[in-house]
């Protein structure tokens, strides 16, 4: 189990104990098995456990809960036994929570992986950027330009991006021989739109409590979540309730003419079927025939499945990289893709090419971040409210263009 492997930080002990207790108790496994397999039973069940413990705070278990901004308390010796007894006693309540929710982790730290490619787009196009976040959830990635980033290189040098006074600071360790090109400040976003079948409003206390329960119970992770949630509430962005596979063209066509569209997603397409992934790639290519765009996708190296052979972006995977994915666990690949007009010819080209992936296969450690520079050029369209989809929450008052919804 990744949370309890050799060298795992002590702060991961609570997370490891939650999953180990489920794994080692047949009666709990039987309970979790009653959840539809497509709903990620283990993750959903453990999130329900955390939600119930946070709500009721039983003393024998609450003593192990970290506080945001605080320290990670050690686990008491009898924690596993107390947790097992609590879960067995409250099994019906846990299943009711699982039935009423879906597992969805909202992790602002993913923005540290997206930023290098997003900054490369901004540096090349030199135009206002429209950020369209696919599978936006709570919308944390829509505010990636408001965060501060600290990238620590192998020899200890820290590369800083953003305002030291930012409400959210994200820490990332760089591994391997490559260092992404980073600007002194994140690019400014002119239009920001989140697209999700179920956008989540963290201003709602119940929604926030559930998303917090889906966050690993690690003090640092909870601190990131709380600060990003506070910022999102104070700076609401346009959220569109719709399926990206069907609504994206309608949203895209209504963007202002003078902005450059940049589609981003993080750990979304890994849950698509192979047919859905191919359909989405074709859709992005079709959109690029009308105006230039960039698509930045952060996903595990390989899609889910028994025998994957290609990345989420469609690039063939070399055997060396597949072996690393099996032996070293899940790690992410940042794959920018350009679609648009090049010398009058429609183009669509993923930057995560087989050659680049092959070079990655030779690295000694899985990279925390990979800077692959995409490219793009100009384009134009106008923005009007789509009639077939629903929008909620207006754009913030920051210096950005609002999405007009009627």
**Is 184 found in the same domain as 43?**
no
Mean pLDDT lowest for which of 124-128, 324-328, 341-345?
A: 341-345
Residues 197 and 346 in one domain: yes
Predicted confidence at residue 315, as pLDDT, reads: 67
373 and 282 in a single domain? The answer is yes
Decide if 37 is inside a domain.
Answer: yes
Do 264 and 248 have their domain in common? yes
Output 406 or 245, whichever has higher pLDDT: 245
Task: State how far the alpha carbon of 26 is from the alpha carbons of 21, 49, 308, in Å.
Answer: 10, 16, 31
261's enclosing H/E stretch is strand 260-266
pLDDT band of 271, cuts 50, 70, 90: confident
For the residues 101-129, what does the mean pLDDT come to?
Answer: 93
| pLDDT, average across residues 353-378 | 31
pLDDT above 90 as % of the chain: 57
Say how far apart CA 286 and CA 348 lie, in whole Å.
9
Burial 54-82 (b: 16+ CB within 10 A, else e): beeeeeebeebbbeeeeebbebeeebbeb
Least confident among 19-28, 186-195, 333-342: 333-342
Share of the chain above pLDDT 70, in %: 74
Residue 291 has pLDDT above 50, yes or no: yes
Residue 276 is predicted with a pLDDT of 85
- 397 is a domain residue: no
Cβ contact 202:232 at 8 Å: yes
Do 233 and 321 have their domain in common?
yes
E strand or H helix at 350? strand 345-350
126 and 200 housed in the same domain: yes
What pLDDT sits at residue 346? 37
Q: What SS3 state is found at 138?
A: coil
Contacts (Cβ under 8 Å, ≥6 apart) of 288 = 338, 339, 340, 341, 346, 347, 348
pLDDT at 161: 97
3-12 tens-digit pLDDT: 566 677 889 9
State the pLDDT at residue 332: 66
Is the CB of residue 180 less than 8 Å from the CB of residue 369? yes
Range of the domain at 328: 108-204+216-392
Number of residues assigned to the chain: 406
Claim to verify: residue 41 and residue 180 sit in the same structural domain: no
List Cα–Cα distances, 345 to 32, 267, 291, 339, in angstroms.
Answer: 52, 31, 12, 11
Any idea which of 313-317, 324-328, 367-371 has the lowest mean pLDDT? 367-371
Task: Verify that 227 and 319 share a domain, yes or no.
Answer: yes
- At 92, give phi and psi (nearest 5°): -65, -40
**Mean pLDDT confidence for 346-350:** 41
Q: Tell me which of 100, 116, 138 is where a domain ends.
A: 100
Q: Kindly state whether residue 398 falls inside one of the protein's structural domains.
A: no
- Give the residue from 180, 181, 185, 192 showing the smallest Cα distance to 129: 192
Task: Kindly state whether residue 406 falls inside one of the protein's structural domains.
Answer: no
Q: Please indicate whether residue 343 or residue 251 has the higher confidence score (pLDDT).
A: 251
**Are 69 and 137 in a shared domain?**
no
In this prediction, residue 395 carries a pLDDT of 32
- Among 126, 137, 142, residue whose Cα is nearest residue 396: 142
Instruction: Look at 312 and 227; give whichever has higher pLDDT.
Output: 227
Band of the pLDDT at 28, cuts 50, 70, 90?
very high
Beta-carbon neighbour count of residue 362 at 10 Å? 12
- Which has the higher per-residue pLDDT, 374 or 106? 106
Mean model confidence pLDDT for the chain: 80
Beta bridge partners of 151: 159, 172
Q: Residue 246: CB partners within 8 Å, gap ≥ 6? A: none
CA 372 to centroid of chain Cα atoms:
18
Query: Could you tell me if residue 210 is inside a domain?
Result: no
**Best mean pLDDT range from 62-76, 174-188, 305-319, 336-350:** 62-76
Residues 152 and 96 reside in one and the same domain: no
Residue 375 has pLDDT above 70, yes or no: no
How crowded is the C-beta side of 276, counted as CA atoms within 13 Å?
A: 12
Residue 296 within any structural domain of the chain:
yes
pTM over 0.85: no
- Helix, strand or coil for residue 343? coil
* Sole residue written with tokens 């098995």: 33
Predicted confidence (pLDDT) at residue 320 exceeds the cutoff of 80:
no
| Residue 268 in domain | yes
The whole-number average pLDDT for the span 195-202 is 93
Number of domains, the chain: 2
Residue 358, in any domain of the structure = yes
Residue 204: per-residue pLDDT: 97
b vs e for 108-128, b when ≥16 Cβ sit within 10 Å of the residue's Cβ?
A: bbbbbbbbbbbbbbbebbebb
| Residue 149, pLDDT score | 97
Q: What is the pLDDT of residue 336?
A: 67
Claim to verify: residue 231 and residue 313 sit in the same structural domain: yes
| The last residue of a domain, from among 80, 100, 120 | 100
Span 62-112, pLDDT tens digits: 999 998 889 999 999 999 999 999 999 999 999 999 999 999 989 999 999
Tell whether the torsion through CA atoms of 294, 399, 111 and 102 is positive or negative.
negative
Q: Which of 100, 128, 154 is the last residue of a domain?
A: 100
For residue 294, give the 3-state DSSP assignment.
strand
The region of weakest confidence among 98-102, 278-282, 390-394 is 390-394
161 in the same domain as 293: yes
Q: Looking at residue 338, what DSSP letter applies? A: E
Separation of first and last alpha carbons in the chain: 50
Q: Find which of 282-296, 325-339, 349-363 is predicted with most confidence, using mean pLDDT.
A: 282-296
């Amino acid at each position: 189990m990744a949370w309890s492997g050799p060298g795992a930080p002590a702060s991961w002990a609570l997370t490891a104990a939650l999953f180990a207790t489920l794994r080692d108790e047949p009666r709990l496994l039987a309970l979790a098995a009653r959840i539809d397999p497509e709903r990620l039973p283990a993750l959903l069940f453990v999130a329900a456990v955390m939600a119930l413990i946070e709500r009721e705070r039983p003393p024998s278990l609450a003593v192990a809960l970290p506080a945001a901004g605080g320290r990670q308390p050690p686990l008491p010796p009898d924690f596993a036994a107390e947790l097992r007894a609590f879960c067995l006693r409250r099994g019906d309540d846990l299943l009711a929570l699982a039935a009423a929710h879906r597992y969805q982790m909202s992790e602002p730290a993913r923005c540290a992986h997206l930023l290098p490619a997003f900054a490369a787009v901004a540096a090349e196009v030199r135009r206002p950027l429209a950020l369209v976040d696919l599978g936006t959830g709570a919308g944390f990635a829509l505010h990636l330009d408001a965060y501060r980033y600290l990238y620590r290189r192998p020899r200890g040098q820290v590369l800083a991006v953003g305002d030291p006074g930012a409400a959210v600071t994200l820490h990332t360790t760089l591994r391997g021989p490559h260092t992404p090109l980073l600007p002194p400040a994140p690019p400014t976003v002119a239009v920001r739109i989140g697209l999700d079948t179920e956008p989540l409003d963290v201003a709602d206390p119940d929604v926030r409590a559930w998303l917090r329960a889906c966050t690993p119970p690690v003090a640092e992770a909870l601190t990131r979540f709380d600060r990003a949630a506070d910022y999102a509430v104070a700076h609401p962005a346009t959220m569109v309730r719709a399926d990206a596979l069907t609504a994206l063209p309608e949203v895209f066509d209504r963007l202002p003419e003078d902005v450059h569209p940049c589609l981003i997603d993080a750990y979304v397409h890994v849950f698509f079927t192979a047919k859905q992934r191919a359909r989405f790639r074709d859709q992005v290519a079709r959109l690029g025939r009308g105006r230039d765009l960039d698509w930045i996708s952060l996903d595990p190296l390989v899609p889910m499945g028994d025998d994957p052979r290609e990345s989420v972006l469609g690039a063939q995977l070399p055997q060396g990289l597949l072996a690393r994915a099996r032996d070293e666990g899940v790690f992410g690949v940042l794959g920018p893709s350009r679609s648009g007009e090049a010398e009058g010819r429609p183009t669509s080209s993923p930057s995560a090419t087989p050659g680049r992936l092959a070079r990655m296969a030779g690295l000694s450690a899985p990279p925390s971040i990979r800077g692959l520079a995409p490219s793009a050029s100009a384009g134009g369209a106008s923005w009007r409210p789509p009639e077939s989809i629903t929008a909620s929450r207006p754009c913030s008052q920051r210096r950005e263009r609002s999405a007009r919804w009627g």
